[in-house]
Amino acid sequence: MRHSNLFEKFKTMKTKYIFISILSALVWLTACSSETSVIQTAETQNVEQAIENNQEIQNTEEIQTEESAWNSEIVSLEPVTNIIARWTFTTVEENTSGTVEFIQTNDVTTITLSNFKTSSAPDLGIYLSKQESISNKVDISNAIKLVSLESSSWDQSYIVAADIDLSEYNSVAIHCTQYNKLFGSASMK
Protein backbone atom coordinates (compact mmCIF):
# COMPACT_ATOMS: atom_id res chain seq x y z
CA MET A 1 0.00 0.00 0.00
CA ARG A 2 2.82 2.25 0.71
CA HIS A 3 4.28 1.78 -2.78
CA SER A 4 1.01 2.70 -4.40
CA ASN A 5 0.92 6.03 -2.52
CA LEU A 6 4.42 6.86 -3.80
CA PHE A 7 3.40 5.92 -7.31
CA GLU A 8 0.33 8.16 -7.08
CA LYS A 9 2.45 11.08 -5.78
CA PHE A 10 5.01 10.55 -8.55
CA LYS A 11 2.25 10.38 -11.13
CA THR A 12 0.73 13.61 -9.75
CA MET A 13 4.17 15.34 -9.71
CA LYS A 14 4.86 14.17 -13.26
CA THR A 15 1.51 15.54 -14.39
CA LYS A 16 2.22 18.87 -12.66
CA TYR A 17 5.65 19.03 -14.31
CA ILE A 18 4.16 18.35 -17.75
CA PHE A 19 1.43 20.92 -17.12
CA ILE A 20 3.97 23.54 -16.00
CA SER A 21 6.18 22.79 -19.03
CA ILE A 22 3.26 23.15 -21.41
CA LEU A 23 2.15 26.35 -19.68
CA SER A 24 5.68 27.79 -19.90
CA ALA A 25 5.87 26.93 -23.58
CA LEU A 26 2.54 28.64 -24.22
CA VAL A 27 3.65 31.75 -22.34
CA TRP A 28 6.90 31.83 -24.36
CA LEU A 29 5.04 31.40 -27.68
CA THR A 30 2.59 34.13 -26.72
CA ALA A 31 5.44 36.49 -25.85
CA CYS A 32 7.21 35.74 -29.14
CA SER A 33 4.09 36.28 -31.17
CA SER A 34 3.44 39.53 -29.27
CA GLU A 35 6.96 40.76 -30.10
CA THR A 36 6.47 39.75 -33.73
CA SER A 37 3.12 41.49 -33.75
CA VAL A 38 4.66 44.65 -32.24
CA ILE A 39 7.50 44.58 -34.81
CA GLN A 40 5.06 44.01 -37.67
CA THR A 41 2.84 46.81 -36.38
CA ALA A 42 5.84 49.17 -36.15
CA GLU A 43 6.95 48.25 -39.67
CA THR A 44 3.42 48.78 -40.97
CA GLN A 45 3.26 52.18 -39.27
CA ASN A 46 6.64 53.14 -40.80
CA VAL A 47 5.45 52.18 -44.28
CA GLU A 48 2.19 54.06 -43.79
CA GLN A 49 4.10 57.10 -42.52
CA ALA A 50 6.41 56.99 -45.55
CA ILE A 51 3.43 56.84 -47.90
CA GLU A 52 1.73 59.72 -46.05
CA ASN A 53 4.88 61.85 -46.44
CA ASN A 54 5.04 61.01 -50.16
CA GLN A 55 8.37 59.26 -49.67
CA GLU A 56 9.38 56.57 -52.07
CA ILE A 57 10.51 53.24 -50.71
CA GLN A 58 13.87 52.53 -52.34
CA ASN A 59 14.76 49.16 -53.74
CA THR A 60 17.75 47.14 -52.58
CA GLU A 61 19.99 48.17 -55.48
CA GLU A 62 19.58 51.87 -54.68
CA ILE A 63 20.38 51.23 -51.03
CA GLN A 64 23.49 49.26 -52.00
CA THR A 65 24.57 52.12 -54.28
CA GLU A 66 24.18 54.58 -51.40
CA GLU A 67 26.14 52.28 -49.10
CA SER A 68 28.94 52.06 -51.68
CA ALA A 69 29.07 55.84 -51.98
CA TRP A 70 29.07 56.18 -48.20
CA ASN A 71 31.93 53.67 -47.92
CA SER A 72 33.98 55.57 -50.51
CA GLU A 73 33.51 58.74 -48.46
CA ILE A 74 34.93 56.96 -45.43
CA VAL A 75 38.02 55.97 -47.39
CA SER A 76 38.54 59.60 -48.40
CA LEU A 77 38.61 60.64 -44.72
CA GLU A 78 42.00 59.00 -44.20
CA PRO A 79 44.68 61.50 -43.16
CA VAL A 80 46.22 63.45 -46.02
CA THR A 81 49.83 64.30 -45.19
CA ASN A 82 51.76 66.95 -47.06
CA ILE A 83 55.32 68.09 -46.33
CA ILE A 84 55.19 71.88 -46.73
CA ALA A 85 58.91 72.51 -46.23
CA ARG A 86 62.09 70.61 -45.29
CA TRP A 87 65.25 72.47 -44.32
CA THR A 88 68.61 71.52 -42.79
CA PHE A 89 69.99 73.26 -39.70
CA THR A 90 73.38 74.97 -39.81
CA THR A 91 75.46 76.11 -36.85
CA VAL A 92 75.50 79.82 -35.99
CA GLU A 93 76.91 80.19 -32.43
CA GLU A 94 76.53 76.63 -31.05
CA ASN A 95 76.77 73.27 -32.82
CA THR A 96 73.33 72.59 -34.27
CA SER A 97 72.39 69.86 -36.75
CA GLY A 98 69.37 67.99 -38.08
CA THR A 99 66.40 68.77 -40.27
CA VAL A 100 63.20 70.70 -39.72
CA GLU A 101 59.98 69.82 -41.55
CA PHE A 102 56.63 71.51 -41.62
CA ILE A 103 54.05 68.78 -42.12
CA GLN A 104 50.36 69.32 -42.71
CA THR A 105 47.96 66.48 -41.90
CA ASN A 106 44.41 67.48 -42.81
CA ASP A 107 43.92 70.77 -40.90
CA VAL A 108 46.78 70.37 -38.41
CA THR A 109 50.32 71.60 -39.12
CA THR A 110 53.29 70.34 -37.13
CA ILE A 111 56.93 71.30 -37.03
CA THR A 112 59.16 68.22 -36.73
CA LEU A 113 62.83 68.18 -35.84
CA SER A 114 64.58 65.02 -37.07
CA ASN A 115 68.08 63.85 -36.12
CA PHE A 116 68.18 67.09 -34.17
CA LYS A 117 71.07 68.00 -31.87
CA THR A 118 72.25 71.27 -30.35
CA SER A 119 74.01 72.36 -27.16
CA SER A 120 72.04 72.26 -23.91
CA ALA A 121 70.85 75.59 -22.55
CA PRO A 122 67.87 76.99 -20.67
CA ASP A 123 65.00 78.58 -22.53
CA LEU A 124 65.74 77.24 -26.01
CA GLY A 125 63.05 78.04 -28.50
CA ILE A 126 62.09 77.59 -32.12
CA TYR A 127 61.65 80.92 -33.89
CA LEU A 128 60.16 81.75 -37.29
CA SER A 129 61.47 84.63 -39.37
CA LYS A 130 60.34 86.30 -42.58
CA GLN A 131 63.98 86.83 -43.56
CA GLU A 132 65.57 84.53 -46.11
CA SER A 133 68.12 83.41 -43.51
CA ILE A 134 69.03 84.14 -39.89
CA SER A 135 72.72 84.51 -39.26
CA ASN A 136 73.04 86.76 -36.21
CA LYS A 137 71.29 87.98 -33.05
CA VAL A 138 69.89 91.05 -34.77
CA ASP A 139 68.04 88.84 -37.23
CA ILE A 140 66.19 87.07 -34.40
CA SER A 141 64.66 90.34 -33.14
CA ASN A 142 62.19 90.30 -36.01
CA ALA A 143 61.25 86.64 -35.52
CA ILE A 144 58.35 85.14 -33.57
CA LYS A 145 58.77 82.39 -30.98
CA LEU A 146 56.86 79.36 -32.16
CA VAL A 147 57.48 77.06 -29.18
CA SER A 148 59.95 76.23 -26.42
CA LEU A 149 62.11 73.18 -27.10
CA GLU A 150 61.49 70.17 -24.88
CA SER A 151 64.94 68.73 -25.56
CA SER A 152 68.22 69.83 -27.11
CA SER A 153 68.44 66.55 -29.02
CA TRP A 154 66.35 63.72 -30.50
CA ASP A 155 63.38 63.76 -32.83
CA GLN A 156 60.49 65.91 -31.68
CA SER A 157 57.28 67.41 -33.06
CA TYR A 158 55.14 70.38 -32.09
CA ILE A 159 51.75 71.56 -33.30
CA VAL A 160 51.82 74.95 -35.03
CA ALA A 161 49.05 77.33 -33.92
CA ALA A 162 46.32 77.57 -36.54
CA ASP A 163 46.59 81.38 -36.73
CA ILE A 164 50.23 81.24 -37.97
CA ASP A 165 50.50 81.49 -41.75
CA LEU A 166 53.68 79.56 -42.56
CA SER A 167 53.76 80.93 -46.10
CA GLU A 168 54.91 84.26 -44.60
CA TYR A 169 58.07 82.77 -43.06
CA ASN A 170 61.31 81.81 -44.79
CA SER A 171 63.58 80.58 -42.01
CA VAL A 172 63.68 78.83 -38.63
CA ALA A 173 66.08 79.48 -35.75
CA ILE A 174 67.04 77.81 -32.48
CA HIS A 175 67.61 80.61 -29.99
CA CYS A 176 68.41 80.82 -26.26
CA THR A 177 66.61 83.82 -24.77
CA GLN A 178 68.42 83.72 -21.43
CA TYR A 179 71.91 83.97 -22.99
CA ASN A 180 70.71 85.82 -26.11
CA LYS A 181 72.48 83.30 -28.32
CA LEU A 182 71.49 82.15 -31.76
CA PHE A 183 72.39 78.44 -31.74
CA GLY A 184 71.49 77.51 -35.32
CA SER A 185 69.16 78.22 -38.22
CA ALA A 186 67.58 76.60 -41.24
CA SER A 187 66.15 78.22 -44.34
CA MET A 188 65.27 77.75 -48.02
CA LYS A 189 68.48 79.48 -49.21
Predicted confidence (pLDDT) per residue in 66-81, tens digit: 555 555 555 556 778 8
The pTM score is 0.58
Q: Please name the residues in contact with 105: beta carbons below 8 A apart, sequence gap of 6 or more.
A: 79, 80, 81, 82
Beta strands in 79-153 (DSSP E): 81-88, 90-91, 96-105, 108-118, 124-129, 144-148
Domains in the chain: ranges and CATH: 2-76 (no CATH), 81-187 (2.60.40.200)
How sure is the predictor about 40, in pLDDT bands with cuts at 50, 70 and 90? low
Q: Residues 132, 162: contact at Cβ < 8 Å?
A: no
Give dist(CA 36, CA 27) in Å, integer: 14
Give dist(CA 106, CA 81) in Å, integer: 7
For the chain, give the mean pLDDT. Answer: 76
Give the pLDDT confidence score for residue 58 in this predicted structure.
46
